[in-house]
Amino acid sequence: MPKKEWVRLIKFVIFSASAGIIQIGAFTLLNELSGWRYWPCYLISLILSILWNFTFNRRFTFKSNANITRAMLLVFAFYLVFTPLTTWMGDWLAEDLQWNEYLVTAINMLLNLSLEYLYQRFVVYRNKIDNRQVKNIDK
């Protein structure tokens, strides 16, 4: 893999880690304070992290000028599949099988990290990487 792709992957992981902090923070607050089942805590925290991650990765990791509406719709399509599967699986593991809800959330976050990178790199921004013009602020 070329050095540029390694740098892109590292940036994605760093921004995803920041989104992960948002997700686990929101999940912890909801899980500990609301008394809700696993799934609404996970779902709300996932949505918050998706919004954060999409914004930063589009601008800084993929440096893309791709149509934002199209890119968002493609990411939405990914999450139309990913979200129900991981929400159902997470609730089943945490509630029915009594797995630790933080372990289940960590597994879902690792799945999200790896699958979302591949999807964004090869589907969402496939031909629109490194084409965003950065404005010169010195003018």
Please report, rounded to a whole number, the percentage of residues in the chain having pLDDT higher than 90: 82
Residue 71 lies in a domain: yes
Q: Is 136 part of a structural domain of the chain? A: no
C-beta of residue 11 within 8 angstroms of C-beta of residue 61 = yes
| pLDDT, tens digit, 9 for 90 and up, residues 97-124 | 999 999 999 999 999 999 999 999 999 9
- Which pLDDT value is given to residue 65? 87
Do the domain assignments include residue 63?
A: yes
Structural domains counted in the chain: 1
Alpha helices for 1-139 (secondary structure H) = 3-33, 38-56, 68-91, 101-119
- Let me know if residue 139 belongs to a domain: no
Give the residue numbers spanning the domain of 38: 3-124
Confidence check: pLDDT of 138 > 80: no
